[in-house]
């Protein structure tokens, strides 16, 4: 099994690059943002609760997302591996993921961290907001999401650095150039 975390701030290209990685390496995609948006669209109790946080650019409480991940892992017992996109986003989530995967004897293999400057993040997200219909793609909420990232999510990269799992990847350039760098890091790890 091969388990990969694609890490980075809002708008760094996690979703875009996940699509490419899944196709090439045959991994199952787990995006907590996508799962939460689908719960919001279905109007489920979880979605109604999550929406309050998402619309303000704040993280949804750890226990909610950790429960979602645990269910997803159980639903996919015989797969080549997972790509985690937008999770873990706090150190508590990273520790919970390690516990869940250790229990299955399939730890995280590699964490690829996309490095993108703040001005570029804002440009990408504002531009996406013009067509996405996402309630969190407007200037005010984008600023809060980036602030939340610095406060709660960036310590996750130190957590993985301490565990020798982190590789930093330049996340600016064309989608193809960035995918080539990600593939290089994955291939080096697999070999």
Active site residue 128: yes
Active-site residue among 72, 124, 145, 165? Answer: 145
Rule CB under 6 A: which of 66-85 touch ligand AP5?
A: none
The answer to whether residue 57 forms part of the interface with ligand AP5 (CB under 6 A) is yes
> Is residue 35 within 8 Å of 67, Cβ to Cβ?
no
Nearer to ligand AP5, 79 or 126 (CB): 126
The answer to whether residue 51 forms part of the interface with ligand AP5 (CB under 6 A) is no
Shortest separation between residue 159's beta carbon and ligand AP5, angstroms: 14
Helix, strand and coil content of the chain, in percent to the nearest 5, comes to 60, 10, 30
Query: Across 38-85, where does the E strand assignment appear?
Result: 82-85
Shortest separation between residue 191's beta carbon and ligand AP5, angstroms: 26
- Write the binding mask 94 to 123 for ligand AP5: x where contact by CB under 6 A, - elsewhere: ------------------------------
DSSP state string for 130-154:
HHH--TT-SHHHHHHHHHHIIIIIH
Rule CB under 6 A: which of 157-186 touch ligand AP5?
A: 174-175, 178
The answer to whether residue 145 forms part of the interface with ligand AP5 (CB under 6 A) is yes
The candidate with the shortest Cα–Cα distance to 183, out of 22, 32, 10, 31, is 22
With CB under 6 A as the contact rule, the residue among 2, 30, 86, 160 that binds ligand AP5 is 86
With CB under 6 A as the contact rule, the residue among 51, 72, 89, 165 that binds ligand AP5 is 89
Active-site residue among 37, 51, 72, 89? Answer: 89
Q: How many CB atoms lie within 10 A of CB 56?
A: 14
Question: Looking at beta carbons, which pairs linking 76-81 to residues 24 or more positions away fall under 8 Å?
Answer: 76/28, 79/1, 79/27, 79/28, 80/1, 80/2, 80/25, 80/26, 80/27, 80/28, 81/1, 81/2, 81/3, 81/4, 81/25, 81/27, 81/28, 81/106, 81/109
Active site residue 37: no
Active site residue 134: yes
Kindly list the residues in this chain that would bind ligand AP5 in the complex (CB under 6 A).
8, 10-16, 32-33, 36, 53-54, 57-60, 65, 86-87, 89, 93, 124, 128, 136, 145, 174-175, 178
**Any idea which residues carry the catalytic annotation?**
14, 89, 128, 134, 145
């Amino acid at each position: 099994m091969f388990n990969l975390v694609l890490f980075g701030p809002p708008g760094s290209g996690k979703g875009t690059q996940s699509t490419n990685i899944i196709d090439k390496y045959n991994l199952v995609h787990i995006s907590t943002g996508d799962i939460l948006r689908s719960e919001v669209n279905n109007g489920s109790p979880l979605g109604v609760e999550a929406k309050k946080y998402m619309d303000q650019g704040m993280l949804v409480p750890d226990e909610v997302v950790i429960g979602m991940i645990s269910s997803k892992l159980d639903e996919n017992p015989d797969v080549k591996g997972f790509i985690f996109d937008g999770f873990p986003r706090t150190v508590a989530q990273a520790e919970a993921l390690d516990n869940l995967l250790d229990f299955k004897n399939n730890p995280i293999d590699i964490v690829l961290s996309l490095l993108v400057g703040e001005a570029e993040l804002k440009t990408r997200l504002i531009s996406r907001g013009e067509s996405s219909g996402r309630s969190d793609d407007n200037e005010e909420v984008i600023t809060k999401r980036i602030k939340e990232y610095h406060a709660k999510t960036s310590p996750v990269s130190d957590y993985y650095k301490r565990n020798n799992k982190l590789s930093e990847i330049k996340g600016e350039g064309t989608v193809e150039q960035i995918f080539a760098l990600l593939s290089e890091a994955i291939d080096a790890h697999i070999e």
